[in-house]
C-alpha cells in the first residue's frame, strides 16, 4: 500500500496518515479485480452465493517485489521471447514498515487479509 500511496501519478512527497487511511478504505481488494473478470462471478458475489477466491481466474501472478524473476517465468510459461523490464520511477523513501503503526497494520490486515495470506506477506 505504501508504494501505491507514493505512486508518482499521485503527486505525494510526504506521508499523511489520514490520507493513507482513506486510500486503504477506498482501494478495492485483489479479490474484487479477480472477480470482475466475469459477469457471472459478479452476480454470485452480489447475491452472496460464492466466496472470493483470489486464484480462481488467474494462472500466474507477477509480484512487483519479484517483477524481474516473475516476468522471466511468465515469458517461459507462455513461450515468448524474454524482454528486459526498464526500471522507472524509483523512489528514495523509508522502508515501508516505518510508515505503519499498530492501527494501520490492523486496518490493512483486516481489509487485505486474503491477499496477505495468499502471497505470504508479513508486516
Q: How confident is the model at residue 13 (pLDDT cuts 50, 70, 90)?
A: confident
For 20-79, the pLDDT digits (tens) are 999 999 988 887 776 655 555 565 566 665 555 555 556 788 888 888 999 999 999 989
Output b/e per residue, 60-74; b: 16+ Cβ within 10 A.
Answer: eeeeeeeeeebeeee
- Give the chain's length: 123
Spans of all domains in the chain: 2-56+89-117
Centroid of chain to Cα 35: 15
Of 79, 78, 76, 56, the C-alpha closest to 68 is: 76
Dihedral of CA 100/17/103/116: which sign? Answer: negative
Its pTM stands at 0.61
Question: Bigger pLDDT: 7 or 90?
Answer: 7
Amino acid at each position: 500500500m505504501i508504494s501505491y500511496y507514493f505512486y508518482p501519478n499521485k503527486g505525494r512527497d510526504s506521508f499523511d496518515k489520514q490520507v493513507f487511511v482513506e486510500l486503504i478504505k477506498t482501494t478495492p481488494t485483489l479479490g474484487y479485480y479477480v472477480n470482475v473478470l466475469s459477469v457471472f462471478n459478479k452476480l454470485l458475489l452480489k447475491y452472496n452465493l460464492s466466496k472470493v477466491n483470489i486464484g480462481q481466474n488467474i494462472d500466474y501472478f507477477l509480484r512487483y517485489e519479484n517483477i524481474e524473476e516473475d516476468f522471466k517465468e511468465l515469458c517461459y510459461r507462455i513461450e515468448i521471447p524474454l524482454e528486459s523490464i526498464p526500471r522507472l520511477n524509483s523512489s528514495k523513501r523509508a522502508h515501508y514498515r516505518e510508515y505503519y503503526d499498530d492501527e494501520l497494520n490492523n486496518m490493512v490486515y483486516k481489509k487485505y487479509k486474503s491477499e496477505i495470506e495468499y502471497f505470504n506477506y508479513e508486516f
